[in-house]
Structure 1
Amino acid sequence: MARLLLATVAATVLLLAAGATAQQQGCENATFPAGRSFARCNTLPVLDASLHWTYHAANGTAELAFRARSSATGWVAWGINPGGAGMAGSNVFLASQGGGGGAAVSVLTTVLRSTAPALDNTTLQFGVPVPPTAEYAAGAYTIYVTVALPGNSTQQNTVWQAGPVSGGAIMPHPVSGPNLQSVKRQDFLSG
């Protein structure tokens, strides 16, 4: 019995290690079109997402790509909350294909003033030197953007989400499980 338990524990540890390695390799081995590349990446802990970036200390900006799996009839979002942690107060970039699969991908920028926000296209509370773009390929959205890090700080509270689109309208994301865990204090200097 002890031998079986030990073998089960060893197998579980090996599977977890292999899964963590595969997840890290996925982030590290991501490819981007048009010769885009990034110095660092993190596989985010929930919603099958990753963040790739290059920090430019000379001007306090981060050039980044946020990638998350989604159906073509869904949406994904990534943002920074310059005033605290969590969704309310976050400045986000939301990508979707308004008409569903095959339609052009658009990016909405908005400030989430509450946990039940109006998704209006708004100027963010930090600089965005180049307009954001996005694409949908291989079952994932990728948002490309360069941001002036608020307060010129490399430590930022970040959020990300994914949800459905219905009839061309962005619908609320689920309010349980991974969707409530999609927050992270991101270090753009060291990762």
Structure 2
Amino acid sequence: MAWQLLAGVLLLQLAASAAGQQQCLSATFQNGQTFLKCNPLPVLGASLHWTHHAENGTADVAFRAPQQSSGWVAWGINTRGTTMPGSSVFIASQDGSGSVSVLMTVLENTSPSLTNGSLSFDVLSPPTADYTNGVYTIFATIALPNNSTTQNTVWQAGPGSTGNVGQHATSGPNVQSMLRLDFSSGQSTGTASNSRLHRRNVSSSPPPC
């Protein structure tokens, strides 16, 4: 009986994984851009789409996550470890008029300054973002750090808007949003981590990237 229950659970997990992968692959983007690979991320309803260019060690990336228009989402890479602090991230949010902007920042600690600036890896063109049907999408072309296809990727979502990024939840899925991803094979290994990011008000709206 126990083996039957275990087999049933495994079948349900496989079906859910297949459904998530199919939804990931069928995603379309407003700008008509397409990507060769995608992974449905394990928490926050997010997915990562990318095309890896092995000849020059770069990747075109699109990160998608559902969120209220009054909230923010973020995606990035941590070259130093497996937590949110130390990560270089893109944060998408809206201002009062509905205009979407992207902040590029390094999270120095759990109460980061959120200063717009350079990341720990090269960003080859200004990142962009859109908000459609309750989903943010961040687009970026990056040089993979240290020319390595395997990276510690992080993502997050929380309340607040441009100029006032609020603290996200400090339990549940919000502290499990990290995995190690191979941009070449698409294989990933999830790692639960303390990815808490404390509230920090930005003194002014981030300048355009």
**The two structures share one fold, judged by TM-score above 0.5:** yes
Structure 2 CA distance for partners of 1:116 and 1:56, relative to 1, 3 Å: same
Q: Which amino acid counterpart does residue 37 of structure 1 have in structure 2?
A: T
Q: TM-score, normalised by structure 2?
A: 0.82
In 1, the alpha carbon distance for the partners of 2:162 and 2:144 equals: 35
Which residue of structure 2 aligns with residue 58 of structure 1? Answer: 55
Deviations 1:32-72 (A, max 9, x none): 12320001000000000000000011111010100001011
In 1, the alpha carbon distance for the partners of 2:131 and 2:123 equals: 22
Percentage identity across paired residues of the two chains: 57
Q: Which amino acid counterpart does residue 63 of structure 1 have in structure 2?
A: D
Q: Which amino acid counterpart does residue 162 of structure 1 have in structure 2?
A: A
Point out the more displaced range, 116-125 or 74-83. 116-125
Unaligned runs of 5+ in 1: none
User: Does the aligned pair in 1 maintain the 2:94–2:161 contact within 8 Å?
Assistant: no
User: Is structure 2 residue 30 aligned with structure 1 residue 33?
Assistant: yes
Query: What is the RMSD of the two structures over their aligned residues, measured on CA atoms?
Result: 2.0
Which residue of structure 1 aligns with residue 18 of structure 2? Answer: 21
In 1, the alpha carbon distance for the partners of 2:73 and 2:112 equals: 15
User: Is structure 2 residue 70 aligned with structure 1 residue 73?
Assistant: yes
| Deviation, structure 1 residue 7 | 8.8
Q: Which runs of 4+ in 1 moved over 3 A?
A: 5-18
Match of 1:131, SS state, is coil
Q: TM-score, normalised by structure 1?
A: 0.90
In 1, the alpha carbon distance for the partners of 2:110 and 2:170 equals: 10
- Which structure has the larger Rg over C-alpha atoms? 1
User: Is structure 2 residue 155 aligned with structure 1 residue 160?
Assistant: yes
Equivalent residue for 1:123, pick from 118, 125, 133 = 118
Unaligned runs of 5+ in 2: 187-209
Pairs aligned (count) = 186
Match of 1:77, SS state, is strand
Which residue of structure 2 aligns with residue 145 of structure 1? Answer: 140
Q: Which amino acid counterpart does residue 189 of structure 1 have in structure 2?
A: S
User: Is structure 2 residue 67 aligned with structure 1 residue 47?
Assistant: no
User: Does the aligned pair in 1 maintain the 2:49–2:62 contact within 8 Å?
Assistant: yes
Q: Which amino acid counterpart does residue 74 of structure 2 have in structure 1?
A: A
In 2, the alpha carbon distance for the partners of 1:12 and 1:54 equals: 33
